[in-house]
A and B are shown apart, each in its own frame.
Chain A
Amino acid sequence: MSEGIVYWLQQTLNALQLGSIYALIALGYTMVYGILTMINFAHGDVFMIGAFFCFLAAVFLGLPFAPTLLLAMVGAALLGVTIERLAYKPLRHAPRVSAIITALGVGIFLENFTLALAPYPKNIPPLLEHVTWNLGGVSLSSLQVIIILLSLGLMFLLDYVVHRTPVGMAMRAISWDKTFVPLMGVPLDLIISVTFAIGAGLAGAAGTMYALAYPVIDPYMGIMVGWKAFISAVVGGIGNIRGAMIGAFILGGVEIMVTAFFPSTYRDFVAFTLLMLLILVRPYGILGKPRTQKV
């Protein structure tokens, strides 16, 4: 293969890896938005906590990859449900911005609480045996394959749960109407908790994968990644699960390609300019539907 195509393929692979991590986090944003029309700004920090759970499991418990991943997911899910019960549930009928500011506050709390307990960046030990295959010049590491396949697997699982199971049906129904659906016997609080648990669990998985791919973690790592995942969700059309995945892969692709072909300091500039233009052209995201305004 020619040099150019190899380079291109290599970068596509990197884009897929970054995009799948963004996608897992973006799903949490979009699910919570879909069901509560609330932006859960603490979600990026739940992702960070997931990475720290991974650190705890790998270093202090000495667990291998699969139990570590499971522990991070369960830990993050419990955290997500706890946050929802303590901080967001009392505000369900308050003005929307109060919930957003509360979420920001919870996020800052999580960051600094972690900082107080873990003041220095932590190194994650390599949990997986590092194998690199060479496919016609394109190098493919086992870690990349696992990250991409696992993320895609989780996404398809989520898509199946949301579109094909009774729980998913209840979630979609509640996002449609929060007054009458509970009257039909759908347990509102339980379904909202399940939504938070799934979203936070996916963020925990993303935290583990991120920690394995970029093995130095610190309490502030969730801020930028969280905002970017949120942007992915909006680009795809917030509230739309498939849209969030598409948006995440677009953002990951743009970021990697800009870094590959321009000086890396242009990354945010190009990515955010594209984002701005996209929203101006399609203000409701790629898969979002324009909300009809009645007068």
Chain B
Amino acid sequence: MKTRWSVGWEWLMAQRWLLPVLVAVGFVLAFAIEYDLFNNEYVRGVAMSVGIPEYTLEYTLFNKYVQLVMMYVGINIILTVSLNLVNGYMGEFSLAHAGFMAVGAYTAALLTQKVLPVAAYPGLFPLAVLAGGLMAAALGLIVAVPSFKVRGDYLAIITLAFLMIVKSVIENIDTIGGPRGIPGIKKLTTLPWVFFWVVVSVWVVRNFVYSKYGRGVLSIREDEIASDLMSVNTRRVKFLAFMVSSFFAGIAGALFAHLLQFISPRVFDIIKTTDVLIMVYLGGIASIGGSILGATVYTVLLELLRPSTVAAMLAWLPAVALDPLNEYFIRHLGVWRMVIMPLLLVLVMLYWPRGIMGLREFRWFIPRRDLEAHHRQHAHGGSHGAAHGH
């Protein structure tokens, strides 16, 4: 059934040139927000003239808290997209993501604190982030080895064991703070850097998934023995998938450490992995667009349920109605936020078991040759492809 909306959506999805334009616009916006370029009379004037009240700007673009949330959304997108490579596209159930994150965070934090003179040369920060990613990737190779032999729930346990071992090793090395962690990390993560790494991670994972090796990754999910027989080098594919996935987990960890400014082994425990898992499956497996949506929806919803945010959103109410409401929310919502959130998750899973975009993809991310092949198949009345549509 073709509604006006679906026709509009079709048209929008056909405008593939919009993606690079959006990325460029995003970069400009990121820089402008980070350096507070919007906070001037001119922007205020334009906003007023199109009917945007000034407090909206105060609560959005100029607001440091909103900027912080945007950076968390970015970091969570990197984590989700990279975990989706192993858990979604390859169909394993890895629980090690927080471990890779910890490795990246500690490597980068130690570098910026003890080795690199970042105070004098802030330009060295990307080197530290890159080092964090590479270190995590190296460990990802080690975790890939058991996956040659072990599959399914047993591999899940091995990755869980890896996470616990990383945490335990960090706790037992006193020179890097042991259980106390590293306080006083410099705040070097900025919105443009987060946006840059989001673009890189999405770009790399997307290109990997639609490359020769990416086909291998998908074939391993469907049937490992058959793909072996079809001369897919499953070992190399697994090495690569784990390496790419853990690399970006390390990058996200490094950015996270320089945003939170404090890390300890407790930050990277199984609860952190659970968060990322939820974002992956909420967004839907084997879908980059789904991962972006899942990470954004989950992070933003959690923040929206914060008492202060609710209070800010209700600021337009008259004071008579506002004061009792405010008091009620601030006293109760902080605790019930984490009760409401998992309930929402369970409801989404019950009515939408594949997540928001499971096994579907924004057409912007699908290579043109795949789309054309898909259309040809449809023209001949062939069966549906595995990862198409929307």
Contacts and interface: CB of A to CB of B under 8 A. Distances in A.
Interface in B47-85: none
A109 interface: yes
Interface in B154-191: 154, 156-158, 160-162, 164-165, 167-169, 171-172, 179
A90 B346 CA distance: 11
A231 interface: yes
B320 interface: no
B277 A272 contact: no
B346 A280 contact: no
Given A39-B153, A97-B93, A269-B169, A87 B338 contact: no
A276 B274 contact: no
Nearest to A237: B154
B278 interface: yes
Q: Which of A95, A98, A285 has the most CB of B within 10 A?
A: A98
B19 interface: no
Given A104-B274, A106-B342, A295-B225, A279 B167 contact: no
A280 B281 CA distance: 28
Nearest to A37: B153
B339 A101 contact: no
Contacts, number: 129
A223 interface: yes
Nearest to B336: A116
A292 B149 CA distance: 14
A102 B346 contact: yes
B335 interface: yes
A266 interface: yes
Given A234-B154, A269-B172, A98 B353 contact: yes
Contacts of A100: 93
A275 B285 CA distance: 29
B315 interface: no
B160 A104 contact: no
B349 A116 contact: no
A234 B339 contact: no
A105 B158 contact: no
Q: Which of A112, A238, A265 has the most CB of B within 10 A?
A: A112
Question: Binding site of A, secondary structure by majority: helix, strand, loop or mixed?
Answer: helix
Question: Binding site of B, secondary structure by majority: helix, strand, loop or mixed?
Answer: helix
B118 interface: no
Interface string B350-390: 10011100100000000000000000000000000000000
Nearest to A90: B350
Given A273-B161, A276-B158, A295-B226, A105 B339 contact: no
Q: Which of A115, A116, A293 has the most CB of B within 10 A?
A: A116
A105 B349 contact: yes
A105 B342 contact: yes
A269 B178 CA distance: 14
Nearest to B351: A90
B150 interface: yes
A227 B271 CA distance: 12
A97 B285 contact: yes
Interface in A146-204: none
Contacts of B225: 293, 295
A221 interface: no
B345 interface: yes
26 contacts: A39-B153, A97-B93, A101-B345, A105-B343, A105-B345, A108-B345, A112-B338, A116-B336, A119-B335, A223-B270, A231-B157, A231-B160, A234-B154, A265-B172, A265-B179, A266-B168, A268-B168, A269-B172, A272-B164, A275-B157, A276-B158, A276-B165, A279-B146, A279-B161, A283-B149, A295-B225
Q: Top 4 A-B pairs ranked by shortest CB distance? A: A94-B353, A269-B168, A112-B338, A109-B342
Interface of B: 87, 93, 146, 149-151, 153-154, 156-158, 160-162, 164-165, 167-169, 171-172, 179, 225-226, 229, 270-271, 274, 277-278, 281-282, 285, 335-336, 338-339, 341-343, 345-346, 349-350, 353-355, 358
